[in-house]
Copies of this chain bind each other. A is one copy, B any other.
Amino acid sequence: MNTSAHQRPLIAIDWGTTSLRGARLGPAGQVLESRDFPRGILTVPTGQFEAVFHELFGNWMQDPDALCLISGMAGSRQGWQEAPYCPCPAGFAELGQHLLWLKPGRIALVPGLRCLGTDAQHTPDVMRGEEVQIFGALHLAGRDNATLVLPGTHSKWAQVQGGRVTDFQTFMTGEVFALMSQHSILGKTLDLTGAFDEAAFFQGLDQSQQPGSVLHHLFAVRTLGLFDRLSAAQLHSFLSGLLIGEELRTQTVNAGSGPVILIGSNTLTRRYSLALQHLGFACQSHGAEATWAGLFALASAC
Contacts and interface: CB of A to CB of B under 8 A. Distances in A.
Interface string A112-133: 0000010111011110000000
A37 interface: no
A246 interface: yes
Given A170-B216, A215-B172, A121 B184 contact: no
A105 interface: no
A141 interface: no
B169 A210 contact: no
B154 A123 contact: no
A249 B183 CA distance: 26
Interface residues of A, number: 44
B215 A171 contact: yes
A175 B188 CA distance: 14
A175 B184 contact: yes
Given A170-B219, A184-B179, A219-B171, A212 B125 contact: no
A246 B125 contact: no
| Count of identical protomers in the assembly | 2
A247 B185 CA distance: 19
B126 A212 contact: no
Contacts of A207: 119, 121, 123
A107 interface: no
A213 B121 contact: no
A250 B216 contact: yes
A86 to B, nearest CB: 15
A284 interface: no
Given A175-B185, A210-B120, A214-B213, A125 B223 contact: yes
Contact of A213 (B154, B203, B249): B249
Interface string A176-190: 100110011100000
A217 B121 CA distance: 11
Nearest to A154: B219
A25 to B, nearest CB: 32
A240 B275 CA distance: 30
A211 interface: yes
Interface of A: 117, 119-121, 123-126, 154, 169-173, 175-176, 179-180, 183-185, 203, 206-207, 210-220, 223-224, 226-227, 243, 246-247, 249-250
Given A124-B223, A213-B246, A214-B214, 4 more contacts: A119-B210, A124-B227, A171-B219, A213-B247
